[in-house]
Amino acid sequence: MQNLWAPWRMEYILGDRPQGCIFCPDGNGETDEERLLLYRGELSMVVMNRFPYSNGHLLVAPWNHAPSLDGLKNDELLDLIQTVRASVGLLRETMSPDGFNVGLNIGTVAGAGFEAHVHFHIVPRWNGDTNFMTVFAEVRVVPEHIQQTYRKLLPYFTKERLNENS
């Protein structure tokens, strides 16, 4: 039998759940690096999912604290979807995935972990990245440490680069 080591998962399993909203500007007092925040736009932000489905799993949220798209103004909606598009482009450039899952969960019943603040998930996918682990053990294999992925992506998530890709 072989062991699969994923020590950072213990933080998720045993750790305290964040107080407040992980998407709001103050970030509960954490630095951008602690938050894994890659980009601060005028109306939206990009942060890495701390417990990703795959390497490069990003969350794109408006700064406006709204539970659904209905709570956003047109300029916020436009900025949000342009940031999603630019983020997909930067992930394509930096990680060369074969495809993406992009979506949002509205409401707890739909799977929203932070239902009070709408946000898009961008999940890079590679041919062959599904295996028996998820099916049999409800375990995902994420081959690169999240801090290493953060350091790889951070230089690309600048205003200039996002504007080039939107």
In tens digits, the chain (166 residues) has pLDDT values of 455 555 555 665 566 656 678 888 777 788 999 999 999 999 999 999 988 888 899 999 999 999 999 999 999 999 999 999 999 999 999 999 999 999 998 888 887 777 888 999 999 998 876 654 454 455 556 667 888 888 888 888 887 887 777 6
Domain that includes residue 122, residue range: 22-159
Phi, psi angles (nearest 5°) of residue 97: -70, 160
Residue 57 lies in a domain: yes
pLDDT of residue 134: 52
Burial 115-127 (b: 16+ CB within 10 A, else e): eebbbbbbbbeee
Q: CATH number of the domain that 125 lies in?
A: 3.30.428.10
pLDDT of residue 3: 53
**CA dihedral over 146, 102, 133, 107, signed as positive or negative:** positive
Residue 10 lies in a domain: no
